[in-house]
Chains A and B, each alone.
Chain A
């Protein structure tokens, strides 16, 4: 089974994503802040990461950049989840290497479809 890492400080959102992704036969690992997310990513080598942007400790862009510039992890697809506030717009200009952006509120089915697309 493919491993998916979900990193978001909003537990409710993590729950719902986990629910639909597990229903679609993926194994889900969850982290609720950036630091745990990064550590877990290196530990379990997930097949795909769903990453929130605004998080305590380390924000999503930074995690994405750290992973994408590391040859070992750079092939892991990253789906970035953003609430599209002005603060995030500022960050979005940075080179982060994320493969896809998903705007909150998103359709769960869309996310599942996108994940399946990347893991085909």
Chain B
């Protein structure tokens, strides 16, 4: 089995590393590749780091000629001539024959050597319990009985694969044995295929359950954990080293191992991971610098009572990066005492690839969450800021206002006309400032969901009358007339009258501000079904009216109007600031957004129609059957 690592690891052992192949007891199944970790005994603790360049991994392709296994035959007989006979008829280069009669020796040989064929002489003394024990000790061996005559002891049938009689010819005996051998081979092949099939099924199952786990979470640490668990299920490894960049800020090396790892071994694995990681980038600078100092190790040990030792580390391994396109999340290497099959390699790659996609989604998801947290924090800071600022502003403002009051009352001496003019100017601006602070506070309260509403049966016409009388003086001073066209018989709604007054006062004040002299401002009200309400195209998306009756209020002016491009932003916070004319007119630009929020608390809506230099119509609608249990 070849994997990407072979070419990337240092092949030459450094001079101080002594390596020996003597200890390498390689079996047939492990002849592909053997991995060594070397250390000098005098290194001791910390020595590994000191000898960074001395530590190396020798990738040794140990090529063993295929040993053709001999067919092992055990003859159990206490008759020397029979033993000699069998030794003579089997060709020596294909068959390895042993003849035994001592009971204990027989058991030892049978269990240690696992012969392919056992030929038992039925004339041997301890035959009865011998059969049973042999069958138990090596159930896969073929047992053939040698009988003196054609008569067969019925007790023997359940143990026997075949019978030979002593008068049979050599050829007959050999062919009987060959037939049985072929049968044994076929059975073994079948059993192996079955085992492979079962393995594949199991692996498929593991892959399936892992991938469904992947799709179930957006937690990166969990995804990495699921990957490791999936590999454990599908490949039953001894040790994995997972380098992960995505679970914490620092690179993390997750060592998931069957047994406890010594400190030296952990250091070696860290170095190995660093080398692996750097080798992925072919000499270019990797996106994150990883070295054994900044690598945080997380150990997950299955059986902490036992321990892997450093010098005996001789495992097969596989390595894969965890990445998707440009996104690099880490890499994973797994070790196993037995060697990995090509199927194992495919399965391993599949899992490493499978985890990359959810990791990418998780990264995006995390970015969104972080952005949201940041936004929420900013929003809270803004609210707090507004609240603190307005509190801090209010106190000095009170002092200024009080002083002005005292001066203007004449209690500190007579005031000249000019002085009065400037004192009034100062007073007007104090009032304006305090209005702005109130608006800011209102808005931050509404946005924080802390605005208290006092809902009670309210008639909209009463609100209109109140606002008209409150503002008619101001209007008159500007040469404007406020007219009302209210429909009688408008039903009461459940609403906070004070807040509705605030909304309407805002709209009418705006109309007064932006309307030139000698013009008219009209406030109208009517009961109307939502399907007869026409909201212009600019507000189609934001104004959503439900089916049913609404109370519609309109404030119409003959003022400067709003340009088409600004219509949509009329209800945005501080929208007015952009408009130089409004600066002349004064105001914070918070009146309309506050009105919008207050109406939304009444399940209502606000919008406007306007034509530049002709005038504006501001509408708001509140459901006639307004049931406001909770707002």
Chain A residues whose C-beta falls within 8 Å of the C-beta of B388 in the assembled complex:
85
User: Are A85 and B441 neighbours in the complex by a CB distance under 8 Å?
Assistant: yes
User: Are B398 and A23 neighbours in the complex by a CB distance under 8 Å?
Assistant: no
Q: Which of B134-187 contact A (CB under 8 A)?
A: none
A23 to B390, CA, bound (A): 31
A83 on the B face (CB < 8 A): yes
User: Are A105 and B387 neighbours in the complex by a CB distance under 8 Å?
Assistant: no
User: Are A84 and B411 neighbours in the complex by a CB distance under 8 Å?
Assistant: no
User: Are A83 and B395 neighbours in the complex by a CB distance under 8 Å?
Assistant: yes
Mask of B385-407 contacts with A, CB within 8 angstroms, 1/0: 00110110011111101110110
User: Are B398 and A104 neighbours in the complex by a CB distance under 8 Å?
Assistant: yes
Q: Which of B106-114, B245-253, B328-336, B443-451 contacts A (4 or more CB under 8 A)?
A: B443-451
A101 on the B face (CB < 8 A): no
A7 to B401, CA, bound (A): 19
Partner of B398, one of A85, A86, A89, A105: A105
User: Are A13 and B399 neighbours in the complex by a CB distance under 8 Å?
Assistant: yes
A46 to B441, CA, bound (A): 35
A88 to B394, CA, bound (A): 13
Partner of A86, one of B387, B395, B403: B387
Q: Which of B408-439 contact A (CB under 8 A)?
A: 409, 411, 430, 434
Partner of B397, one of A16, A54, A89, A104: A104
Chain A residues whose C-beta falls within 8 Å of the C-beta of B441 in the assembled complex:
84-86
Mask of B484-497 contacts with A, CB within 8 angstroms, 1/0: 00000000000000
Distance from B482 Cβ to chain A, minimum over Cβ atoms (Å): 26
User: Are A16 and B411 neighbours in the complex by a CB distance under 8 Å?
Assistant: no
A13 to B300, CA, bound (A): 68
Chain A residues whose C-beta falls within 8 Å of the C-beta of B411 in the assembled complex:
19-20, 23
User: Are B390 and A19 neighbours in the complex by a CB distance under 8 Å?
Assistant: no
Q: Which of A32-40, A63-71, A72-80, A106-114 contacts B (4 or more CB under 8 A)?
A: A106-114
Q: Which residue of A lies closest to B411 (CB)?
A: A23
Q: Which residue of A lies closest to B387 (CB)?
A: A86
> How many A-B Cβ pairs are below 8 Å?
68
User: Are B405 and A10 neighbours in the complex by a CB distance under 8 Å?
Assistant: no
Chain B residues whose C-beta falls within 8 Å of the C-beta of A17 in the assembled complex:
402
Interface range, A side: 20 to 34
User: Are B390 and A108 neighbours in the complex by a CB distance under 8 Å?
Assistant: no
A85 to B402, CA, bound (A): 20
A25 on the B face (CB < 8 A): no
A20 to B404, CA, bound (A): 12
User: Are A86 and B448 neighbours in the complex by a CB distance under 8 Å?
Assistant: yes
A67 to B399, CA, bound (A): 27
A87 on the B face (CB < 8 A): yes
Q: Which residue of A lies closest to B448 (CB)?
A: A86
Q: A23-B411, A105-B430, A105-B434 are in contact. Are A83 and B402 (CB under 8 A)?
A: no
A50 to B241, CA, bound (A): 73
Q: A19-B406, A109-B405 are in contact. Are A83 and B399 (CB under 8 A)?
A: no
User: Are B406 and A108 neighbours in the complex by a CB distance under 8 Å?
Assistant: yes
Chain B residues whose C-beta falls within 8 Å of the C-beta of A19 in the assembled complex:
406, 411
Q: Which of A8-23 contact B (CB under 8 A)?
A: 10, 12-13, 16-17, 19-20, 23
A109 to B403, CA, bound (A): 12
Distance from A40 Cβ to chain B, minimum over Cβ atoms (Å): 22
Distance from B253 Cβ to chain A, minimum over Cβ atoms (Å): 48
Interface range, B side: 20 to 34
Specify the main secondary structure of chain A where it touches its partner.
helix
Q: Which residue of A lies closest to B384 (CB)?
A: A86
Q: Which residue of A lies closest to B438 (CB)?
A: A84
User: Are B395 and A108 neighbours in the complex by a CB distance under 8 Å?
Assistant: no
Q: Which of B355-392 contact A (CB under 8 A)?
A: 383-384, 387-388, 390-391
Specify the main secondary structure of chain B where it touches its partner.
helix
Q: Which residue of B lies closest to A9 (CB)?
A: B395
Distance from B383 Cβ to chain A, minimum over Cβ atoms (Å): 8
Distance from A66 Cβ to chain B, minimum over Cβ atoms (Å): 24
Chain A residues whose C-beta falls within 8 Å of the C-beta of B406 in the assembled complex:
16, 19-20, 108
Q: Which residue of A lies closest to B412 (CB)?
A: A19
User: Are A85 and B450 neighbours in the complex by a CB distance under 8 Å?
Assistant: no
Chain A residues whose C-beta falls within 8 Å of the C-beta of B390 in the assembled complex:
83, 85
User: Are A104 and B405 neighbours in the complex by a CB distance under 8 Å?
Assistant: no
Distance from A15 Cβ to chain B, minimum over Cβ atoms (Å): 8
User: Are B398 and A13 neighbours in the complex by a CB distance under 8 Å?
Assistant: yes
User: Are A87 and B391 neighbours in the complex by a CB distance under 8 Å?
Assistant: yes
Q: Which residue of B lies closest to A109 (CB)?
A: B405
Q: Which residue of B lies closest to A81 (CB)?
A: B398
Distance from A9 Cβ to chain B, minimum over Cβ atoms (Å): 9
Q: A19-B406, A108-B406, A109-B405 are in contact. Are A86 and B450 (CB under 8 A)?
A: yes
Q: Which residue of A lies closest to B445 (CB)?
A: A86
User: Are A85 and B401 neighbours in the complex by a CB distance under 8 Å?
Assistant: no
Distance from A120 Cβ to chain B, minimum over Cβ atoms (Å): 22
Distance from B397 Cβ to chain A, minimum over Cβ atoms (Å): 5
User: Are A16 and B450 neighbours in the complex by a CB distance under 8 Å?
Assistant: no
Partner of A83, one of B391, B403, B409: B391
Chain A residues whose C-beta falls within 8 Å of the C-beta of B403 in the assembled complex:
12, 16
Q: Which residue of A lies closest to B403 (CB)?
A: A16
Q: Which residue of A lies closest to B434 (CB)?
A: A105
Chain B residues whose C-beta falls within 8 Å of the C-beta of A108 in the assembled complex:
402, 405-406
User: Are A104 and B395 neighbours in the complex by a CB distance under 8 Å?
Assistant: yes
User: Are B445 and A106 neighbours in the complex by a CB distance under 8 Å?
Assistant: no
Chain B residues whose C-beta falls within 8 Å of the C-beta of A20 in the assembled complex:
405-406, 411
Looking at A17, A84, A85, the one whose CB has the most chain B CB atoms below 10 A away is A85
Partner of B394, one of A23, A83, A87: A83
Chain A residues whose C-beta falls within 8 Å of the C-beta of B387 in the assembled complex:
85-87
User: Are A105 and B448 neighbours in the complex by a CB distance under 8 Å?
Assistant: no
Chain B residues whose C-beta falls within 8 Å of the C-beta of A109 in the assembled complex:
405, 409
Looking at A12, A84, A105, the one whose CB has the most chain B CB atoms below 10 A away is A105
Chain B residues whose C-beta falls within 8 Å of the C-beta of A13 in the assembled complex:
395, 398-399, 402
Q: Which of B556-586 contact A (CB under 8 A)?
A: none
Distance from B447 Cβ to chain A, minimum over Cβ atoms (Å): 11
Distance from A108 Cβ to chain B, minimum over Cβ atoms (Å): 5
A19 to B450, CA, bound (A): 37
Distance from A30 Cβ to chain B, minimum over Cβ atoms (Å): 15
Chain A residues whose C-beta falls within 8 Å of the C-beta of B399 in the assembled complex:
10, 12-13, 16
Q: Which residue of A lies closest to B430 (CB)?
A: A105
Distance from B480 Cβ to chain A, minimum over Cβ atoms (Å): 27
Q: Which residues of A contact B (CB under 8 A)?
A: 10, 12-13, 16-17, 19-20, 23, 54, 83-89, 104-109
9 other A-B residue contacts (CB within 8 Å) besides A86-B387, A105-B401: A17-B402, A19-B406, A83-B390, A83-B394, A86-B384, A86-B441, A104-B394, A105-B394, A108-B402
Sample 7 A-B pairs with CB under 8 A, ordered by A number.
A10-B399, A83-B391, A85-B391, A86-B384, A86-B445, A105-B430, A107-B405
Top-3 shortest CB links A-B: A16-B402, A85-B391, A12-B399
